[in-house]
Amino acid sequence: MRIAFIGDIVGRPGRKIVRDKLKEFKKEFNIDYVIANSENASHGFGLTLKNCDELLKAGIDLFTGGNHSFDKRADVKALFETQKVLRPDNYPSGVAGNGVKIVEIGGEKLAVVNLMGMYAMPHVENPFNWATTLTEKLHQEGISNIFIDFHAEATSEKRVMMMMFKNKVSAICGTHTHVGTDDLQVVEGTFYVSDIGLTGCRDNVIGMDEAMPIFRATTGLGGHFKVPNACKTIFQFVVLEFKEGKTVEAFKVKAYCNKQEVIVTKALFD
Q: Are the C-beta atoms of 34 and 4 separated by less than 8 Å?
A: yes
CB atoms within 10 A of CB 26: 17
Task: Give dist(CA 105, CA 256) in Å, integer.
Answer: 30
Is residue 99 predicted with pLDDT exceeding 90? yes
Could you report the per-residue pLDDT of 150-162, keeping only the tens digit for each? Answer: 999 999 999 999 9
Task: Give dist(CA 125, CA 35) in Å, integer.
Answer: 24
- Residues annotated as catalytic (active site), given as ranges: 68
CATH tag for 2-269 (out of 3.60.21.10, 3.90.1150.10, 3.40.50.2300, 3.30.1360.120):
3.60.21.10
Q: Closest Cα partner for 61 from 29, 40, 31, 95?
A: 31
Is residue 260 predicted with pLDDT exceeding 90? no
**Three-state DSSP class for residue 79:** helix
Q: How confident is the model at residue 147 (pLDDT cuts 50, 70, 90)?
A: very high
- Tell me the Ramachandran region of residue 31: left when phi exceeds 0, alpha when psi lies from -120 to 50, beta otherwise: beta
Mean pLDDT along residues 67-82:
94
Q: 0.85 exceeded by the pTM? A: yes
With 0-12 / 13-18 / 19 or more C-beta atoms within 10 angstroms meaning exposed / middle / buried, residue 188 is exposed
**∠ Cα 249 252 257 (to 5°):** 145
Q: Closest Cα partner for 64 from 1, 130, 127, 9?
A: 9
Q: How confident is the model at residue 261 (pLDDT cuts 50, 70, 90)?
A: confident
User: What's the pLDDT at 157?
Assistant: 98
User: What's the pLDDT at 259?
Assistant: 83
DSSP secondary structure letters along 116-149: E-STTS-----HHHHHHHHHHHHHHTT--EEEEE
Could you report the per-residue pLDDT of 48-74, keeping only the tens digit for each? Answer: 999 999 999 999 999 999 999 999 999
